[in-house]
Amino acid sequence: MAASSASRYCLFLAGLVLILLSLSSLTSLANEAESDESVFSSGATQQQLHVAPAKPTRYLLYDINPGEGFNLRRDVYMRIANLVKALNEVEPWILVLPPWGRLYHWKSRGLNQLKIPWSTFFEVLSLSYHIPVIEYEDYIKVTGEPQIDLVYYLQNYAEGWTDGKWEEKIDERDCIDNQLYKKNSDGKYRGWFWGYSETYANEFKCLSVQAMAGQMLPILTKNISVRSVMLDRADELLHDRYGQVDYWRARRSLRFAKHLRDIGDEFRRINLDSNDEKDKTEVIDDWREMRKEPSSAIGGPYIAAHLRRQDYARNNRKDVPSLQNAAEHLKKLLKEHKLKKLFISTDAPKFEIKELKDHLTGYEVYNYVPPKAVLENFMDGGVAIIDQWISAHARYFIGTGTSTFSFRIHEERQILGFDPKMTYNRFCGDGESDSCDQPTVWNIQW
């Protein structure tokens, strides 16, 4: 009797602490964020109250190889999100969203593209409908310290694949080449930590991995005294079930921020004669309630092309077309679909865009050039999202082979309900035949 009432009292106390925590994070956030939806990172805390108030909340953090681009990072988010979903079936875990910054492709000058919260680019509330999430700066506020209990640095196996055969395994190993985390005289590990120089870790280990994200679960849950774990080089982990239900749920939850979609919508309306009602591309506020009939979307009266240039064009890749050949193909498509308008999404420099337009005289060719305020507020990542959003609403889309930027547009169009034939297309490179392999169709699994 005594024992059970004592443990009930403990439960009550733990619950109270959680409520206080969520309240304090709420109010401090509300002060800062005013009308910002991002307050609901803490939707997380609420959700987790229903799960198991007795177990203490644990936090998963992650980072990615600095060389990786924005859209591969979105893919890694889906892998880690579903690991966190699996963890929550055991005990309450919150995913700490890694601040954006220092990306190789983000080259606009005069901008400080560092420590960018997820709410700049994505709807954090939408994310929290899939798994509990919190922004990094809120994590510091809630835990009271810029501290992480344990960092696992994920690496390959020094010996490579044994017998040339891939098998699933994870082992604690000596670090192969890691000089990135250093133990200071105070016993704390210092590292990059998204540019937060005050952040430190208490423990640091290297893990050799050849595994799906879900296989980290036993390692993460084994020691309850470790409250926060960071996985660096999380891109080493693979999808548990690529293209399956949870993949798509994570993907559907990864919605672009409303302020960016609004800018794209305005551009469509003014230049491309495109609006959701006419184009049958309405978005429902809560993605869990949005299930478009396949091929129900019509899209605006324009073709959208994603032309990945820069390093793709410089490296003489055989799957990249010359601007002239890309233009010839686009003319053919415009005739075929009886359209006059073309939207170009590209990372090409101005002179290449001009060259492309010169090859397309007689057609209305648009590309999105951000006003100064948009660039300042939402930076290169925001502009890329606006390009993707406009491309996602075209009647017909054609992208660049192997570009994850194009792949994310494919998915966006599946969610909006386009016919896959109008989506899964790519330019054939100058080094390929005109009947080159087209992208694989991935239908949404529900």
Ligand X SMILES: Nc1nc2c(ncn2[C@@H]2O[C@H](COP(=O)(O)OP(=O)(O)OP(=O)(O)O)[C@@H](O)[C@H]2O)c(=O)[nH]1
Catalytic residues: 68
Cβ proximity to ligand X, 72 vs 90, nearer residue: 72
35 strand-pairing partners: none
Judged by beta carbon distances under 5 to 8 A according to partner kind, the member of ligand X, ligand NAG, none in contact with residue 223 is ligand NAG
The correct pick among 4, 184, 185, 225 for binding ligand NAG (CB under 6 A) is 225
The correct pick among 76, 231, 257, 383 for binding ligand X (CB under 6 A) is 383
Give the interface segment with ligand X, choosing from 92-100, 162-170, 232-240, 342-350 (CB under 6 A).
342-350
Angle (CA) 49 54 56, round 5°:
80
- Per rule CB under 6 A, is residue 187 in the interface with ligand NAG? no
Secondary structure (3-state) at 164: helix
Judged by beta carbon distances under 5 to 8 A according to partner kind, the member of ligand NAG, ligand X, none in contact with residue 383 is ligand X
Q: How far is the CB of 149 from ligand NAG (least distance, A)?
A: 6
Q: Of 123, 72, 83, which Cα lies nearest the Cα of 262?
A: 123
- Per rule CB under 6 A, is residue 343 in the interface with ligand X? no
- 243 contacts 189 by C-beta, under 8 angstroms: no
- Per rule CB under 6 A, is residue 276 in the interface with ligand NAG? no
- Per rule CB under 6 A, is residue 226 in the interface with ligand NAG? yes
Q: Of 355, 330, 352, which Cα lies nearest the Cα of 343?
A: 330
**Rounded to whole angstroms, how far apart are CA atoms 356 and 334?**
15
Cβ proximity to ligand X, 41 vs 403, nearer residue: 403
The correct pick among 68, 203, 352, 430 for binding ligand NAG (CB under 6 A) is 203
**Rounded to whole angstroms, how far apart are CA atoms 92 and 85?**
10
Binders of ligand X among residues 2 to 61 (CB under 6 A) are none
- 291 contacts 283 by C-beta, under 8 angstroms: no
- Per rule CB under 6 A, is residue 70 in the interface with ligand X? yes
Residue 363: CA atoms inside 13 Å, Cβ hemisphere, count? 26
Reported in sequence order, the residue ranges of 56-184 that DSSP labels E, i.e. its strands, are 58-62, 93-97, 133-135, 147-155, 169-173, 182-183
- Per rule CB under 6 A, is residue 215 in the interface with ligand X? no
- Per rule CB under 6 A, is residue 223 in the interface with ligand NAG? yes
Residues in the chain: 446
Q: How far is the CB of 93 from ligand NAG (least distance, A)?
A: 16
Q: How far is the CB of 56 from ligand NAG (least distance, A)?
A: 13
What Rg value do the Cα atoms of the chain yield, rounded?
A: 24
Q: What is the dihedral of CA 127, 130, 135, 136, to 10 degrees?
A: -140
DSSP class per residue in 340-393: -EEEEEE---HHHHHHHHHTTTTSEEE-----HHHHHHHHHHHHHHHHHHHHHT
State the maximum Cα–Cα separation within the chain, in Å, rounded to a whole number. 86
- Per rule CB under 6 A, is residue 219 in the interface with ligand NAG? no
- Per rule CB under 6 A, is residue 71 in the interface with ligand X? yes
Site string (308-327) toward ligand X, x via CB under 6 A: x-------------------
Site string (53-82) toward ligand NAG, x via CB under 6 A: ------------------------------
The correct pick among 45, 82, 210, 346 for binding ligand X (CB under 6 A) is 346
Binders of ligand X among residues 96 to 125 (CB under 6 A) are 105-106
Cβ proximity to ligand X, 41 vs 391, nearer residue: 391
Query: What is the enclosing helix (H) or strand (E) of 39?
Result: none
Residues that bind ligand X (CB under 6 A): 69-72, 105-106, 306, 308, 345-347, 380, 383-384, 387, 403-405
Residues that bind ligand NAG (CB under 6 A): 149, 203, 223, 225-226
